[in-house]
Amino acid sequence: MPQKNTTVGLFVLLASLLWASGAEVVHAKRSEPFRPPAKQTLEIRGFSKNGKEVALFVKDANRGAMFQVRKVNKNKLVKSYPVRGSEKGTWRKVRREHKIVEPLHDAPDNPRKDLTLVVTPRKGELVIQFSQGDQLKEYDRVALLEGRKGKPAKAFIKQMAWGPRGKSVAIIYHQKVKHLLVWEGDFVHTFKVKSYRLGME
């Protein structure tokens, strides 16, 4: 018992000294855990006839294989089609319901105009540019993931494709980021090209 009283007394004395000296008591701050999205492997399969939608084949670490249809100008999911049974059968259904045209033009060159898509990972961003003749014009930038101490993900471009009318674009890019663990997976960025931003006719 005397030992306990002595310990309490020392604690009270220390607290009093800290208060008297104006010392600040700092509480440990708990860092937020890194929560990456589910790992996915993506592949562009085709665009709708009007170029407003794009179909992807997806292998999701949690949900398995599926097809996804996305709205190009908003880069938003329209509908998912889990592969149950035949992959070819599921793809036929997607093509029929969304009027997907083939073959896919998965190349940087525009299928109808003298315009080339150039996408480069640079300093934590994807820099999207277009070249026309001897000119190179920046169009947009997309932020990459950040890992430990704000270090940007390592990224590379896997696939680029144009819609059938040469006005829609889909880009598949891969990111690898290190935080508590190393995580990597595919991402998609889609958009409708606005010609006036490039000074085109």
Tell me, yes or no, whether 21 lies in a domain: no
Tell me, yes or no, whether 81 lies in a domain: yes
What total of structural domains would you count in the chain? 1
Full domain range(s) for residue 61:
40-198
10 Å Cβ neighbour count for 65?
Answer: 15
**Whether 166 contacts 113, CB under 8 Å:** yes
- Going by the DSSP 8-state scheme, the letter that residue 167 receives in this structure is -
Tell me, yes or no, whether 193 lies in a domain: yes
Q: Which pLDDT belongs to residue 200?
A: 54
Q: Which pLDDT belongs to residue 36?
A: 53
* 117-153: pLDDT as tens digits: 999 999 999 999 999 988 999 999 999 999 888 899 9
pTM of the model: 0.80
Tell me, yes or no, whether 33 lies in a domain: no
19, two tokens: 């208060």
Tell me, yes or no, whether 140 lies in a domain: yes
Tell me, yes or no, whether 22 lies in a domain: no
